[in-house]
Structure 1
């Protein structure tokens, strides 16, 4: 980790002036100074021990907190998981279904001639139905019906007056034109699954974007801590210059112009420090936003930016995977194709063949009726054909054309999404490489500016240069140090975006 030089500690204080003004006092108070030094040492040791015990909040710990505390992240994550689970609904289309029905009632309308007062009935049905992927629809059921005639006329031929009907029944239906061989059912399955998968990837992309934003916020706050430190040290150094030239002026060893220049530098450094602190507070508010905290909540100590490792950053040679929003376009295309099929089939003429077969048993007793239903001498069977077609041919044709255009639009959207992803990836890796190279150059510039500044400080103490020249070098060094920090923050933000490109087991190209 790069350590910034403490400019205000021993800089711009003339050895000669300092020694002449304080050396006598120091000698007469040597014992007292020794006690103060020992106290300072204990204080420093205590501070270091306290700092060592307080560990910094790592990036992974912060992201775990975001996952646990951010309602935005939890909402998108829950939505993604929910969409994944909802996609299983497509499996239910061709799954056998159990059905049951029970009904009780009576019919009191008069007959002609009137043979009874009313008919009471009970109906019970239990069965299984299934739609097969090749289009066949089946229903196998067992029906029980109890009929009871109340107030039979003496001349009524109805006998017995109450009885049970037991009917095992098989019903079959096969579409031949619209939805021929299960095209609509298959498309419904695909559309339902694809729509939920698209929603899953869309929500997953939102979750990843939140984490990438949180990572960038973490490193920006960490970097702006360094910016504030640099500006604080720059202000201290400026104040040291002002103190130095002011003492020289009071001793008639300096110029008033030097004092004015130094005072202007202090004011400028004060403003720059205030701006840096404001930017730091803004970064802190963004940091807390991802944790659903109060904007001004206290922030833990963060990891230090490792500038050296960033200078050696390896640029990914290939894209590791597709972004979630791009993966969503695959599912959206599949859904569009399936919906186009559904629209086309729904507006075709329909031609279905169907058939029923049932065996019948009737008796006054429930058990006997069930026994009778197993015999085929009282069975029922029929087959039939159903046909229908829309008469508004123009509307049906336009509807089909619209479905094809919607499918084509989804294809174009998917094609552009992959193209844009490649451009975005190229820009991202290029920007990351440029930022890394800039950081290397800025590090060398900072070292050069630091060496130049330190050399000029020595020349100032030797009376071989002017205060104004040192101020210029001071400005150059501060600018280079801040540029380096901001460049590192830019790299870390770009690094976070790389995590949006992940290999996915579903979809892809």
Structure 2
């Protein structure tokens, strides 16, 4: 019985220990909260906006490879069957039936040549053919080579190369715009994280300031009750309580707004609670190094370069399309005919029955005015794209100068605000010591507490401003090359 009781006690002890460890683990997990990196990883995983932008960028990057198809060989095949029942004169048959099979390869070359190499088999059958026909059914085998070379409008591959740029650069422009959206989205998410973290400190400071204001009011009101103070002091203290209460309410409203914004990037309900974010490292922010040079171009600026290339390609296509065209073309066929298809194929291997043509093909638009306007419009679009590109480069440089200068100023301000906060704290500590020595009044200490709270609040908001500015630097990170 004793052993059984001891075993039960041991078992209970083990269960209690396991439960204690479990509770400790849960508390530790809760205390750990969510770090910035974890938050950004969740944004990448849970935000449909971010996933939409990154997926679009990936899609545009892959779609740009459509340009590679313009100058690659293409396989083509064709089959058709039919009949022709028109009466012949003199009447030699009732109807002619045909079956045609074609297989070949065609390619557009960068220097303009268009080539097509094919093999065609055609079966011809005459219904009720007269005795004049040596074969009422036969096969035609025709190896065929066709070449076309534009030498004026679109000549020597100008249109083909422009179409390649049009497809490739158009997709790159969209890729860069989508990439900019995804990078900017993460920067906004990071700013939202630090805003929520900083506003926890703002609310805490405003709560302390509100409590200090209430203490001042209680103090002067008590003094007035003993006829040792003025009613004006009570009125002034009440106004201070109301003002600090309003500031606390505003801070809490801004904290709730920061929470809603925080959750928006995670696609979560707006009021989902969040605990234990990373704390703002004020001392570290006072020592940040502001980049001396811009790391790279923003994605939206790189998009303007691709848009300029697209405009140039589109202008080339428009100009070549509205020019007169002059094409040199040639065809060369070998011909074989027999009532058996395999023999027809053998007969097609001899040049004594070949067919060859060479010629010129010319087209010219007759509305010269409309063609000229179309060309002028294309040139203006290119000029507009050049202006947009130049302004984007200029604006990017100005934005970078403003960002780095604002970041430098904010860092210097934070250092000064840190010194002011420390001075106010020292002043408050000295006054509290004097109060214990009976050399000052409680009222004076409460006023110094207000000064200290104001200095601490300014420092927190300055740090939050630095963190928001730092996120903007990520927009200028060196971007990958096209197609990567």
TM-score calculated relative to the size of structure 1: 0.85
Aligned to 1:101: 78
Aligned to 2:14: none
Aligned to 2:89: 112
Aligned to 1:443: 418
- Match of 1:298, SS state, is coil
Q: CA deviation at 1:469?
A: 3.6
Q: How many angstroms apart in 2 are the aligned matches of 1:456 and 1:320?
A: 50
Q: How many angstroms apart in 1 are the aligned matches of 2:171 and 2:349?
A: 46
Q: Which sections of structure 1, spanning at least 5 residues, go unmatched? A: 1-45
Aligned to 2:295: 320
- Match 1:146 to one of 123, 128, 131: 123
Contact conserved, 1:122 with 1:146, CA < 8 A, in 2?
A: yes
Please say if 1:341 is aligned against 2:316: yes
Please say if 1:299 is aligned against 2:274: yes
Superposition map of 1:128-167 within 5 A: 128-153=105-130, 156-167=131-142
Q: CA deviation at 1:263?
A: 4.9
Aligned to 2:207: 232
Please say if 1:482 is aligned against 2:457: yes
Contact conserved, 1:164 with 1:369, CA < 8 A, in 2?
A: yes
Q: CA deviation at 1:193?
A: 0.6
Q: How many angstroms apart in 2 are the aligned matches of 1:203 and 1:333?
A: 17
Aligned to 2:192: 217
- Match of 1:148, SS state, is strand
- Match of 1:406, SS state, is helix
- Match of 1:54, SS state, is helix
- Match of 1:500, SS state, is helix
Superposition map of 1:60-459 within 5 A: 60-153=37-130, 156-241=131-216, 252=226, 255=229, 257=231, 262-459=237-434
Q: How many angstroms apart in 2 are the aligned matches of 1:399 and 1:247?
A: 87
Q: How many angstroms apart in 2 are the aligned matches of 1:456 and 1:242?
A: 19
Q: CA deviation at 1:151?
A: 2.1
Which piece of structure 1 moves more, 277-286 or 297-306? 297-306
Q: CA deviation at 1:54?
A: 2.4
Q: CA deviation at 1:292?
A: 1.1
- Match of 1:291, SS state, is coil
Superposition map of 1:36-47 within 5 A: none
Aligned to 1:9: none
Contact conserved, 2:166 with 2:310, CA < 8 A, in 1?
A: yes
Q: CA deviation at 1:66?
A: 0.8
Query: Per-residue displacement from partner, 1:372-418 (whole Å, max 9, x unpaired)?
Result: 11111111111111011111111111111111111111111111111
Contact conserved, 1:101 with 1:125, CA < 8 A, in 2?
A: yes
Q: CA deviation at 1:264?
A: 4.6
Give the 3 Å change call, closer, same or farther, for CA 110–131 of structure 1 in structure 2: same
Please say if 1:56 is aligned against 2:56: no
Contact conserved, 2:36 with 2:193, CA < 8 A, in 1?
A: yes
Q: How many angstroms apart in 2 are the aligned matches of 1:388 and 1:235?
A: 86
Aligned to 2:8: none
Alignment size in residue pairs = 459
Q: How many angstroms apart in 2 are the aligned matches of 1:209 and 1:369?
A: 68
Query: Per-residue displacement from partner, 1:219-243 (whole Å, max 9, x unpaired)?
Result: 0000001001112222333444555
Q: How many angstroms apart in 1 are the aligned matches of 2:436 and 2:218?
A: 14
Q: How many angstroms apart in 2 are the aligned matches of 1:453 and 1:229?
A: 18
Q: CA deviation at 1:181?
A: 0.9
- Match of 2:204, SS state, is helix
Aligned to 2:11: none
RMSD: 2.2
Aligned to 1:11: none
Which piece of structure 1 moves more, 88-97 or 374-383? 374-383
Q: How many angstroms apart in 2 are the aligned matches of 1:301 and 1:169?
A: 77
